[in-house]
Every structure is written in structure tokens, then in C-alpha cells.
Amino acid sequence: VSICPVATCTVPGPTPTLGGGTYTWSVQTYNPAGYGPWSSRSFTTTTPTIPTGATLTAPIGTVTNATPAYQWNRVNMATWYRLYVKGPGGKVVLDEWYQAASVCNATTCSVLSPTTLENGDHTWWVQSNNVAGYSPWKSAAFKVNP
């Protein structure tokens, strides 16, 4: 199997992926005339860390809008967020994953409620995620009272 089908040679990376640190790799060429000298290169990687929990900012307290926007502060290095909402009587209203790039700007994340909420007490949670793992859940409560 050729690793050089075109001008650039490619070899798959190691499995599992490398942890943080400095690594050196070398390549030696060969043809019928013999071996060439070894080349040597170094590179450094960082190990991703588990993201922290988000700070939830809205809705909190009593709200009159039955389709609120759930808002929280963007978490550094989070790539996904899970939004989980329970309504009156513990009924699950929403349980969805959102890609950070689709719901966040530089500082804030926001998801508009996809359904009209019932009047009464609600609790919502957000969990941050990246390749390193999951943050602790963060929660807030609010009451829909039009």
C-alpha cells in the first residue's frame, strides 16, 4: 500500500490520540539506490480539559413569555451544550444537544424555546461538552405566569 499516491505522503495518526506533550517524528526515504538520511521534526500538543459548567442567565424568576430564550454564558473550549427543561409536574419539555457554533456568539449562548410552555414552575439545566468530557450540570428555575 502506497502512502504517497500524490506529491504529499500521508500516514494515519496514532490511536488512541496523543495526550499533551512534545513529540518527535522521523522519516527515512528509500529507493533502489539505498536509504536516505533520517529527517526529524517536533511538535507539541495540548490535552483538552473538561469544560466548566455554564452560568445560566435567563429565564430566571417569573416570566410572562411562554416561549422564552434560554441564555447562558459561553464556556471556553465547550463544543456542545445539552439543554434539558422540565415543566410543571416534572414533565420533560426539552432535551436537546446544540453545537456551540450554532447557538453561541463570542460571549453568550441562546436557544429559543421550540414549544409554548405551560403556566407554572419550570427548571432548566445546561451541560457543556468537548472531546475531554462533560461539565457538571448547572440549573436555574423560573415560573411562567402571563
Evaluated on CA atoms 65, 118, 104, 50, the torsion sign reads positive
What's the pLDDT score for residue 1?
A: 47
d(CA 125, CA 81) in angstroms, rounded, equals: 10
- As a dihedral over the C-alpha atoms of residue 145, residue 109, residue 135, residue 50, rounded to 10 degrees, the angle is -170
10 with 1: CB under 8 angstroms?
A: no
More confident call, 125 vs 4: 125
When pLDDT is cut at 50, 70 and 90, the band that residue 49 belongs to is confident
Average pLDDT, the chain: 90
Burial of 123 (0-12, 13-18, 19+ CB in 10 A): middle
More confident call, 90 vs 40: 90
Question: pLDDT tens digit string along 72-111?
Answer: 999 998 999 999 999 999 999 999 999 999 999 999 999 9
pLDDT of 64 strictly over 70: yes
Question: What is the value of pTM for the model shown?
Answer: 0.70
When pLDDT is cut at 50, 70 and 90, the band that residue 23 belongs to is confident
Q: Mean pLDDT over residues 52-56, rounded? A: 97
